[in-house]
Amino acid sequence: MSTLCVLLTLLLLGVQLPPGDQPLVPPACQRAPYDGKAEAMPWADRAPVASQAPRPAGRLVLWYRSPARDWYQALPVGNGRLGAMVFGGVADELLQLNDDTLWAGGPKDVSNPDSLKALPEVRRLLFEGRNVEATELAGKSMMGRPMRIQSYQTLGEVYLECPGLPAATDYVRSLDLDTGVASVGYTSNGVRYERRVFASAPANVIVVRFTADKPGAIRLKLTLKRLKDASAAPDPSNPHAIRLRGQVNRDGGGEPGISFNATALAVNDGGRVSNAGGVLEITGANTATLLIAGATDYPGLGKGGPDASVDPAGAC
């Protein structure tokens, strides 16, 4: 049944439809983690956006008048090891996190024992000009086992929501290619909100800075999620922090692989911070800053399996 038929049926039955054309979606912190089924990592912001905002200042700036609808439209920040894709939502924001040492593999001898035996025949076929046959034989007998290495793994996602922001005007998001800072700005309920996101190389963190032109206007909730192999909880060492801890399934065979940790720390000016069930909430703040760190026990190229002496949580 088409979408139009469904809508007409609902109207005939007297079902009241929501205002506007935005789909009904839950707040960010209540959404399920990304499951990988949709390649583009779609995202929906509950707050409608209207904008005729001018171009932001800067020599080299990517800028847009609406939030990203999927991963391809999000703006990247990174420091060479830790990175994030910033979607730029108003009521609902998503930061997809990456750590370049997190993958699903481990040390393994992938040498093919049949390679040496097949080499003379592959050479003979090549010398006879039978390249297709030589290629097929080499593919069967000389490639590594397995032929493909395990995949890179995402560190997780930051789900962030700003309650009480029903709509926004004068919206603009941008990425300054000179400074590496991603910015989001908009007006809601008469307050101008600004957000800055960048990756610090010296501190090895993603920094998210929230400001508003009205005191006490900052209100937000956030949590960390990952589809599998991890769970979020309050940081026992800091009441203003939450942790996402986990361990990947090595080579898809059930053997424990690389352990990892992501930590989000809230620093507020004014207001208060609460921490329950792996969800941080900031209310009534003048400004707020999130510091997001990530680490794994990857030992380094060619140094064997995970380093048992490294505690990823302690490294954050």
pLDDT at 302: 65
Q: What angle do CA 71, 72, 76 make, to 5 degrees?
A: 80
Do 45 and 175 lie in one domain? The reply is yes
pLDDT at 65: 97
Q: What is the dihedral of CA 41, 45, 49, 53, to 10 degrees?
A: -50
Within a domain: residue 132? yes
Do 49 and 99 lie in one domain? The reply is yes
CA-to-CA dists, residue 50 to 3, 69, 269, angstroms? 25, 15, 30
Task: For 112-163, write each residue's pLDDT tens digit.
Answer: 999 999 999 999 999 999 999 999 999 999 998 877 777 888 999 999 999 9
Residues of 48-85 as b/e, b for ≥16 C-beta within 10 angstroms? bbebebeeeebeeeebbebbbeebebbbebbbeebbbb
Asked if 177 and 186 touch (Cβ cutoff 8 Å), the reply is no
Q: What angle do CA 40, 250, 259 make, to 5 degrees?
A: 85
Domain enclosing residue 85, as ranges: 40-104+151-315
Do 128 and 274 lie in one domain? The reply is no
Averaged pLDDT, 41-64: 94
Do 193 and 142 lie in one domain? The reply is no
Do 120 and 211 lie in one domain? The reply is no
d(CA 69, CA 65): 12
Burial of 283: CB neighbours in 10 Å, binned 0-12, 13-18, 19+? middle
Higher pLDDT, 130 or 9: 130
What share of the chain in percent tops pLDDT 70?
Answer: 91
pTM: 0.83
Residue with tokens 């992938």: 110
Do 206 and 115 lie in one domain? The reply is no
d(CA 286, CA 218): 6
Both structure tokens of 168: 């926004």
d(CA 90, CA 190): 14
Task: For 264-291, write each residue's pLDDT tens digit.
Answer: 999 999 999 999 999 999 999 999 999 9
| DSSP-based three-state secondary structure for 28 | helix
d(CA 228, CA 248): 8
Which run of H or E residues covers position 231?
strand 230-234
Higher pLDDT, 146 or 43: 43
Whether the predicted pLDDT of 52 surpasses 60: yes
Asked if 146 and 108 touch (Cβ cutoff 8 Å), the reply is no
Of 155, 160, 154, 123, which Cα lies nearest the Cα of 138? Answer: 123
Q: CA-based diameter of the chain, in Å? A: 81
Do 122 and 223 lie in one domain? The reply is no
Do 57 and 203 lie in one domain? The reply is yes
Please give the tally of structural domains in the chain.
2
pLDDT at 49: 95
Task: For 21-40, write each residue's pLDDT tens digit.
Answer: 445 789 999 999 998 887 78
User: Taking the CA of residue 103 as centre, how many other CA atoms within 13 Å lie in the half-sphere pointing to its CB?
Assistant: 14
pLDDT at 5: 42
Sheet holding 218-225, edge to edge: 75-78, 82-86, 92-99, 156-161, 218-225, 279-285, 272-276
Do 79 and 195 lie in one domain? The reply is yes
Residue-averaged pLDDT of the chain: 89
Do 224 and 248 lie in one domain? The reply is yes
Whether the predicted pLDDT of 6 surpasses 70: no
Task: For 207-254, write each residue's pLDDT tens digit.
Answer: 999 999 999 999 999 999 999 999 999 999 999 999 999 999 876 667
* CATH code: domain of residue 193: 2.70.98.50
Within a domain: residue 311? yes
